[in-house]
Structure 1
Amino acid sequence: MTTLPPNKSTNVRSVLEYVPYFRGKIFAVHVEQPLVNSEELVDALLDLDALQEIGVKPILIAEGLDASALYEHTRVCEMRSALVEAPLKGGQLVRERVREILGRHQIPVVASGRTGSFDTDSIHLAYTLGASKYIALLNDHKVPSRDGHPIAAILESEVAGLSGELTHRELLDQAAEACRAGIPRVHLLDGKMRGVLVEELFSEEGVGTMVHTDSYREIRPLKEEDIPELLSMIARSVVDSKLVDRNYEDIAAKIDDYYVLTLDDSIVGCVAVYPYPEHRSAELGCLYIKHRHEGRGYGRTLCEFARKKAEEMGMNFIFALSQSAVHYFRDRMHYAEFSRDSLPPERLRALELSGRKSGVFGLRLK
């Protein structure tokens, strides 16, 4: 059974959302030598066993010359594992042995043959096998932070430019280098934290540091299959009269105007850009961030995206209508307050018919 940290409970819905995404993927898990005989490692091994049950293909890499102790722990945990007799520095034949064990639905347990969590042989193995994740289980709480705050996720391309008071900078640099070597996601995790794999892998923000390539966070056009998710996401704000009520058909009719913010392919926010080309204006609408992701700057990111999209359309003015987010648009996004006469006539008529007492906030784009 998958273990959970004593003070946390993983959202079951989040877990179920990730299961099809993880199925069939290879996760290379590197274990620092001091963790091999720790009590906490048992939790991680049980979680890896559960991951294998849902279709993940784990590889266990022990730091150093000998993986036999780590292999014995997997046997005690009744995992479907097999020991690779030689360390990875043995070259191509060892990598082929790892591939063979994976192919028969067992977890290969192999020694790196070297020190450190990011030795070249371990990274090369992960890349040649097409691993989607490289997970470093670290000893002594070595997860990086910046100015006293954990770094949850960072683009590989942004690591070099990080400033401020950083801890464990060398690990960030090594993780970024692993991304450049072809691994999409590199996770730096505290191996002494119980349930760390579950908390990291089955939530969008995680509990460690993830260094990733560009595809982790993106804003993309809404797809028709996303509409039910969007409707359920904004329902609370509709009930609270913070957003205009929309149904499936309303959104489908203007689907090209909607965009979603995703983290690791999971939708966490949305925005719409409705064009009024005759008046060289665009409306920023349906701005929403899921509750558990508020306060992370995603709303600002979507507003900036909407502004740039309006500029690409050749618009001179972008506006938002709101009666509940006055502080946000006026004081945080620095939108100026305008009279209703500044709206395109058809939008003004629709607003008046709705009876909503929304204010008009906008930016001149040119």
Structure 2
Amino acid sequence: MLEYVPYFRDKIFAVHVERPLVDSGELVDALLDLDVLQEIGVRPVLIVEGADASALYEHTRVCEMRSALVEAPLKGGQLVRERVREILGRHQIPVVASGRSGSFDPESVHMAFSLGASKYIALLNDHKVPSLDGRPIAAILESEVAELAGNVTHRELLDQAAEACRAGIPRVHLLDGKMRGVLVEELFSEEGVGTMVHTDSYREIRPLKEEDIPELLSMIARSVVDSKLVNRNYEDIAARIDSYYVLTLDDSIVGCVAVYPYPEHHSAELGCLYIKHRHEGRGYGRALCEFAKRKAEEMGMEFIFALSQSAVHYFRDRMHYAEFSRDSLPPERLRTLELSGRKSGVFGLRLK
């Protein structure tokens, strides 16, 4: 949790509350979470669906929050937005009504954009968090929403969230407002508990940096102990740092892969493939394998291979790598494999 504090400090979060949630007991949890967010430097703005924010404001007073009521709804225009900005400037939480129905009315989205909000958080009633083919959608790029195929629930909300991103808000969160602790669980974990639609690099694969090496070593330590990965030390990785890549979620490392080139043999090795245990089963391993394949192709390689004695089914059955004899390896790689005494199989793909 502490790692997120500097990242969130001084950021504006617009939090929209559906009207039926105002009188629910679960809303108190969300308000207390907002109070904590304000304590660590977040600048929340509370918006409630409909024409009157007084009931929500009274709840914030009961929770002893530093809040102030905006008497007119947002549909009042520029003067109301200026009042919101004034309250924010004196380190209070503005509580304002949208004056409209729905979670993504134009006035609420426009106000969030005009304030420079980094997040627009929709607290929804009746468990309206989207899913795809029965599985929650944890995060999705705004540009990918329209391309979703399959059984998508609450499609209209997803489309509205994507539209809010296109209006200039980097991240939009769709959350179950009746889930206790939903704000903390969503904002202070890498995967969250709702759906985030985003325009920025929430998930990316980037080159390993030297300051990442201790974290990478710590991350792969269990697999090294279990003999699933080759033992590596700081110096080993630093010497070949240009070959290593990490997959990050919100700048936190959750996986890694290495691409070792053998240019004289037009081959590349996919190595050090690892995903943190709590992030398994989400397609990140496949994403890293596909990334490694593209890297090998960019290098002009004709063959990519992986050596494994514990991930045979993964490479053969899921990634559709063919099994090859050891004679297919570059001679220098074959020598080091034989010296290691490992019983690894060879799995590879011919590249175009």
Task: Give the TM-score normalised by structure 2.
Answer: 0.97
Q: What does residue 57 of structure 2 align with?
A: 71
Q: Where does structure 1 differ by over 4 angstroms across 4 or more consecutive aligned residues?
A: none
Q: Following the alignment from structure 1 to structure 2, what is the Cα–Cα distance between the partners of residues 92 and 199? A: 34
Q: What does residue 187 of structure 1 align with?
A: 173
| Deviation sequence 1:189-208 (CA, Å, 0-9, x none) | 11111111111112222211
Cα distance, 1:149 vs. partner? 2.5
Cα distance, 1:112 vs. partner? 1.0
Cα distance, 1:160 vs. partner? 1.3
Q: Following the alignment from structure 1 to structure 2, what is the Cα–Cα distance between the partners of residues 42 and 159? A: 32
Q: Following the alignment from structure 2 to structure 1, what is the Cα–Cα distance between the partners of residues 331 and 142? A: 47
Name the SS of the counterpart of 1:109 in structure 2: strand
Q: Following the alignment from structure 1 to structure 2, what is the Cα–Cα distance between the partners of residues 161 and 323? A: 38
Cα distance, 1:19 vs. partner? 2.0
Cα distance, 1:148 vs. partner? 2.6
Cα distance, 1:352 vs. partner? 1.7
Q: Following the alignment from structure 1 to structure 2, what is the Cα–Cα distance between the partners of residues 207 and 278? A: 48
| Deviation sequence 1:93-114 (CA, Å, 0-9, x none) | 2222222222222111111111
| Deviation sequence 1:201-244 (CA, Å, 0-9, x none) | 12222211111124111111111221111111111101111011
For these two proteins, the number of residue pairs brought into alignment is 352
Match of 1:243 among 229, 232, 237: 229
Name the SS of the counterpart of 2:26 in structure 1: helix
Identify which range, 141-150 or 350-359, moves more after superposition. Answer: 141-150
Superposition pairs for residues 265-344 of structure 1, below 5 Å?
265-344=251-330
Cα distance, 1:137 vs. partner? 0.5
Cα distance, 1:29 vs. partner? 0.3
| Deviation sequence 1:121-141 (CA, Å, 0-9, x none) | 111111111211110011122
Cα distance, 1:25 vs. partner? 1.5
Identify which range, 97-106 or 28-37, moves more after superposition. Answer: 97-106
Q: Following the alignment from structure 1 to structure 2, what is the Cα–Cα distance between the partners of residues 20 and 269? A: 23
Name the SS of the counterpart of 1:78 in structure 2: coil
Q: Following the alignment from structure 1 to structure 2, what is the Cα–Cα distance between the partners of residues 339 and 312? A: 25
Q: What does residue 249 of structure 2 align with?
A: 263
Cα distance, 1:163 vs. partner? 2.3
Q: Following the alignment from structure 1 to structure 2, what is the Cα–Cα distance between the partners of residues 110 and 321? A: 59
Q: What does residue 84 of structure 1 align with?
A: 70
Superposition pairs for residues 1-366 of structure 1, below 5 Å?
15-366=1-352
| Deviation sequence 1:149-196 (CA, Å, 0-9, x none) | 322222211211222222221111101100111111111111111111
Cα distance, 1:17 vs. partner? 2.5
| Deviation sequence 1:238-278 (CA, Å, 0-9, x none) | 11110111112211111111111111221111101111111
CA RMSD of aligned residues (A): 1.3
Identify which range, 142-151 or 274-283, moves more after superposition. Answer: 142-151
**Unmatched 5+ stretches in structure 2:** none
Name the SS of the counterpart of 2:175 in structure 1: strand
Cα distance, 1:312 vs. partner? 0.3
